[in-house]
Structure 1
Amino acid sequence: MYPLPIEKWTPASRTLYRISLPIALFIWLLPMLAVLVTSLRSADELARGNYWGWPEHLSLIANYRDALTTSPVLHYFWNSVLITVPSVLASIALASMAGFALAIYRFRGNALLFAIFVAGNFVPVQILMIPVRNLSLQLGLYNTVWALVLFHTAFQTGFCTLFLRNFIKQLPFELVESARIEGASEWRVFHTIVLPLIRPALAALAVLVFTFVWNDYFWALCLTQGDEAAPITVGVAALKGQWTTAWNLVSAGSILAALPSVAIFWAMQRHFVAGLTFGATKG
């Protein structure tokens, strides 16, 4: 029923696994490695057609300095921070309360409401492009940071609620009953008992939602125009020239845009793994 542990595989299977895993990992990382190497090349070298060879002259400082100074990359970074941080905090705060209510309280329509949260995760976001854009225009939020914060919060809250509801459902209900008998209010039960127990799940969700929102390009392209509210994912396109494109600068900007997500994952790696495995075993 379950996959066998690697230790119980046949010697031939273990050998094939050890050989194929590094190859698959290299193929998976090849595009990122190509972008990283391109960000180290000089413009003259790219003009001569050296795309895949090792750079003849490393232009690390020059390329990244030009990427930061020839376009408002720092402004795009700040926009991404203003969009991502409130979206993550609001999504997790709303989802933790909604997940608590769906997991703990028994009321008419509980299953239907949970089914709506589940169904919302299966709706393709592309079909919502025109209604969401029109709604942002009607509310006067188009081309503002708050438009992206509002819609990212709305879209991510459904996934987070589904995630947290299942985690809270696995907690011993006796803890909640004991706290109620002692006279604790529902808010105190939620804040003092439930939240500390689901901290690994909250950390895992924070990493996932941060990655989703920071790397978003679709909604940033739909709800912004120009440089005023554009995040870094859209701002990298500003490094392109009108007639020619300095791919070394575009690659450097892409690496800079990817660094925060990578840093957040490595900083929260232990909590992320603990959150994904939380409740996977009993006893």
Structure 2
Amino acid sequence: MNKTSPWFHVGMIPFTLLYISPLIFVIGVSLRPFDDITMRGLAALPAALSFEGFSTAFDAGTRGALLNSALVTVVTVIFTLLLASMAAFALSRFRIPFRRSILLIMLAGNLLPPQILLIPVAKIAEGIGIYDTLLALIVVQIGFGLGFYTFVLHGFMRGIPREVFEAAVVDGAGAIRTYGQIVLPLCRPALAALGALATTWVFNDLIWAMTVLRTETKFPITAALLNLQGSFVSKWNVVAAGSILAAIPPAVVFFLFQKHFVSGLLVGANK
């Protein structure tokens, strides 16, 4: 069936509704008063709408957790992409000994199950004095994302025509100028795609937050939601509202960078 055919879109409507039905259900629960859920059941249609769940979730620590998550995500994404782009540029343009082995080692680090690294990471954070700080979470996120982003950016930079770099050398551009004024602008689709992915991964991370953090006021939104479920175990509207608040920031980032994300994937496919 042709994707431009109207029958294709008609046939996709049931699958679309099935896909978004959990989200619609959570939104509906979050907008129902607690008394309405208690009296009529969780699956009933809402008899009234209320923002009681959102206000309760916001006052129960979600606001501070969202700020913590935003801080960790922004700093992590910026520094990870900066370091990864520098490493990819060096590995793709300079004759570094064993550069392929370096790339494979960096990529292999992302293939290790994180569960076997929880205790070593916690002990290292304690040993260098950053345990139970947002800095520890940022360092861990950068460390475990750097290899994958470097590997992806290395592929993009290897696809840049050699003539571009030869022209830069003729114009008297050094390595730093070539990196900043030529390579980074050409890799903008790849950086935008990786930035969108990194934002989603870092913002939604739970395992590393629970590994290096202990103080509740320093928790990101995922760990705060875990505490919210324990504190309001029977108040489903509060838990659903907290989940919606946690899902909004990465969704906004993804939709803002959607065009760059798709173009970055297409560039990677063409190369």
TM-score range, shorter chain: over 0.9
Q: Aligned-residue CA RMSD in angstroms? A: 2.2
Q: Is the 8 A contact 1:144 1:228 kept in 2?
A: no
| Alignment partner of 1:150 out of 139, 153, 156 | 139
1:26: which partner in 2?
Answer: 17
Q: Does 1:98 align with 2:87?
A: yes
- How far apart are the structure 2 equivalents of 1:83 and 1:107? 32
Written as runs of structure 1 = structure 2, the 5 A alignment for 1:177-192 is: 177-192=166-181
Written as runs of structure 1 = structure 2, the 5 A alignment for 1:171-210 is: 171-210=160-199
1:65: which partner in 2?
Answer: 55
Q: Is the 8 A contact 2:84 2:150 kept in 1?
A: yes
Written as runs of structure 1 = structure 2, the 5 A alignment for 1:101-120 is: 101-120=90-109
Which stretch of structure 1 is more off in the superposition, 43-52 or 74-83? 43-52
Greater helix share, 1 or 2?
2
Measure how far apart 1:49 and its partner are: 5.0
Q: Does 1:43 align with 2:30?
A: no
Measure how far apart 1:174 and its partner are: 1.1
What is the SS of the residue equivalent to 1:48?
helix
Q: CA, structure 1 residues 158+49, in 2 after alignment: closer, same or farther (shift >3 Å)?
A: farther
After TM superposition, the score normalised by the length of structure 1 is 0.89
User: Percent of aligned positions with the same letter in both sequences?
Assistant: 37
Measure how far apart 1:133 and its partner are: 1.1
Q: Does 1:88 align with 2:77?
A: yes
Measure how far apart 1:243 and its partner are: 7.9
- How far apart are the structure 1 equivalents of 2:106 and 2:228? 39
Which deviations, in whole Å up to 9, do the C-alpha atoms of 1:81-112 show, x marking residues without a partner?
12111100010000001111121122320111
The letter of the residue matching 2:54 is Y
| Alignment partner of 2:257 out of 264, 268, 272 | 268
Q: Does 1:128 align with 2:120?
A: no
The letter of the residue matching 2:146 is T
The letter of the residue matching 2:58 is L
What is the SS of the residue equivalent to 2:131?
coil
What is the SS of the residue equivalent to 1:72?
helix
Measure how far apart 1:254 and its partner are: 0.7
- How far apart are the structure 2 equivalents of 1:25 and 1:117? 38
Measure how far apart 1:199 and its partner are: 0.6
Q: CA, structure 1 residues 209+241, in 2 after alignment: closer, same or farther (shift >3 Å)?
A: closer
Q: CA, structure 1 residues 190+41, in 2 after alignment: closer, same or farther (shift >3 Å)?
A: same
Q: CA, structure 1 residues 243+29, in 2 after alignment: closer, same or farther (shift >3 Å)?
A: closer
What is the SS of the residue equivalent to 1:41?
coil
- How far apart are the structure 1 equivalents of 2:36 and 2:263? 46
1:7: which partner in 2?
Answer: 2
The letter of the residue matching 1:43 is F
Measure how far apart 1:181 and its partner are: 2.5
- How far apart are the structure 2 equivalents of 1:167 and 1:188? 18
5+ residue gaps, structure 2:
none
The letter of the residue matching 2:33 is S
Measure how far apart 1:23 and its partner are: 3.1
1:245: which partner in 2?
Answer: 234
- How far apart are the structure 2 equivalents of 1:62 and 1:54? 17
What is the SS of the residue equivalent to 2:32?
coil
- How far apart are the structure 2 equivalents of 1:175 and 1:243? 59
The letter of the residue matching 1:7 is N
After TM superposition, the score normalised by the length of structure 2 is 0.92
- How far apart are the structure 2 equivalents of 1:120 and 1:177? 34
What is the SS of the residue equivalent to 2:42?
coil
